[in-house]
Amino acid sequence: MDQEPHRHKWFVVLLVFLTLSCAILIVGAAELISRVLEPKAEGEASVLHDPNLGWLPKPGKYKSTTPEFSVVTAINSLNMNDREVTQSDLQSETRILALGDSHTIASGVSTYESWPKRLEARLFPNREGGVIWNGAVAGYSVGQYLERFRGLKDRLRPTLVLVGFSMATDLYDLIPPERGGFVYGGDASRIYFDLGPNGELIEKTYSANSTGASHALPKRDISLRIREFLGRFSLYRRFRRSNLAMWIAVHRPGGISLWPGLDTGLKKELTEDDKYRWLLAERILAKLVSEAQEMGTKVVIVNIPYLAQVYDATWAASFGTRPDVYDRWIAGRRLAELCQRIGAIYIDTTDAFVSAARERHKWLHWPQDAHPTPEGQDLIAEVVADGLIKKGLTSRSHDLQQ
C-alpha cells in the first residue's frame, strides 16, 4: 500500500520527462527543417575600421541578395553609398548632406533608390542647381551622425544637413558602454557621448585595446542579449514578424522589452532610463545643430517611423494591446518639441506612411528585413521634398513626380 504513492510519483516524473523529450525533439526537428528550407542571403559590403566612427563602408561595388531583394550598392572614396564627388558638385548652389543609419543609406534598395538620391532626382534633375550626398552608414547611432558630419563638413561644405532619425533604433543604440551599449559594431574603438551630472554632453573615447576600467565594455544589455540569442534560430527568424512575436516583444518577458527603441519612443510615461535616452539624443542633436550653424548651415530632422507605427495590424498586435501604456503618435510629438528646443527644422513622414499603407493595401517595408522598399524610400523623398519647399529651404526645380 505504501508503495503506490511512490510509484505514482515516479510515473508522473517519467511522463513529464517523456513529454519534454518529445517536445525538444519536435522543436529540434522543426528548427533543422527550417534551416534547410531557409533561403540564404549572399553578399555584404565590406567595412573599414575608423578610430572616431568605429567603422565605415569600404569603397567598391557590392551586390546583396536575400530572399526578398537583390540590390547593387556603390561605395565611393568618401565611404558614401553614392557616386564620386565632383568639383562641379562642390560648386553647386545647394549642397545637401544626408546623415542616418540603415534606413537612410539605405538597406534593401540599390544606391539610387535610397531616399536621399530619390530626393535629389526630385529637386535637382541632372543635378542642376543642387546635389544631395548620402553620408549615412548602417548601424550608426545619433552620436555617430555628429562624428560623420564633423568628418565630411570641411570637404563638402554642405548648405543643408538632413538627419534621418530612425524610430527603430535611434533612441536605443546611442547608449554608452557604461550603460550596457554598444548595440552595433561590437567593441570597435570609437568616440561616443554621455551625460554629465548636470545633464551636459560629455564626449568620450572607447578603445578596445585599453585595459583601464573606465574603458572596459561591460556586460551587454539583457534585451540585446535576448534578441541576439533568439536571432540564432531559424524558427525565430521565420516567425519574428508574426502577431505572436509582436505581442511577446511588447509584453516583455521578465520586464525586458524586445523592441526597446520604439518602447522608449511610444511610452506615455517615461522611465528614468527613457528620459536619459531622450535627453542624450537631444544634447547630441543640439551639438550637431550648433556646429552646423557655425558654418551657416541649417539642420533638418526627418522622422522615419518603424513598423508598429505604420501598419494598423502590426500596431494592433503589439503596442496597441496596451493603450494605457503606449501612444502611436507620441514619439513624433516629442521629436517635434525636441527640434523646436534645439533650433532644428522638423519633417515627419509618419502620417504619410500610415496613409499610404492604408490606401495602397500593401507594405512599404520588406516584411522580414524591415527596411523600406524602393516605394517606401520614394515616399520619404516625396515628403521631405514637399517639406523643404514649403519651408523655403529649396526651390521647386520641377514638378514632383509620383
Residue 14 within a domain: yes
86 and 164 inside one domain: yes
Mind spelling out the 3-state secondary structure of 253-315?
A: HHHCCCCHHHHHHHECCCCHHHHHHHHHHHHHHHHHHHHHHCCCCEEEEEEECCHHHHCHHHH
Residue 402 within a domain: no
Q: pTM of this prediction?
A: 0.85
181 and 321 inside one domain: yes
258 and 338 inside one domain: yes
pLDDT value for 279: 98
Mind spelling out the 3-state secondary structure of 335-361?
A: HHHHHHHHCCEEEECHHHHHHHHHHHC
21 and 125 inside one domain: no
C-alpha cell recorded at residue 282:
537631444
CA distances from 356 to 121, 173, 311, 325, 385 (A): 21, 28, 10, 26, 17
pLDDT value for 227: 57
231 and 151 inside one domain: yes
Q: Which amino acid is at 334?
A: R
Residue 283 within a domain: yes
pLDDT value for 178: 86
33 and 64 inside one domain: no
10 and 52 inside one domain: no
To 10 degrees, the CA torsion angle through 147, 212, 274, 285? -20
If one counts the domains in the chain, the total is: 2
27 and 57 inside one domain: no
For cell 521565420, the residue is 238
Per-residue pLDDT of the chain (402 residues; tens, 9 = 90+): 456 666 666 776 777 777 777 767 775 665 466 555 445 545 566 899 999 999 999 999 999 999 899 999 999 999 999 999 999 999 999 999 999 999 999 899 999 999 999 999 999 998 888 999 999 999 999 999 999 999 999 999 999 999 999 999 999 999 898 887 788 998 899 999 999 999 999 999 998 765 443 444 444 455 555 555 555 655 555 555 566 666 666 666 555 566 778 999 999 999 999 999 999 999 999 999 999 999 999 999 999 999 999 999 999 999 999 999 999 999 999 999 999 999 999 999 999 999 999 999 999 999 989 999 999 999 999 999 999 999 999 865 444 433
Range of the domain at 209: 47-390
90 and 56 inside one domain: yes
Residue 99 within a domain: yes
Residue 398 within a domain: no
176 and 320 inside one domain: yes
147 and 177 inside one domain: yes
pLDDT value for 18: 73
Contact 139, 101 (CB under 8 A): yes
Length of the chain: 402
310 and 386 inside one domain: yes
Residue 399 within a domain: no
CATH code of the domain covering residue 310: 3.40.50.1110
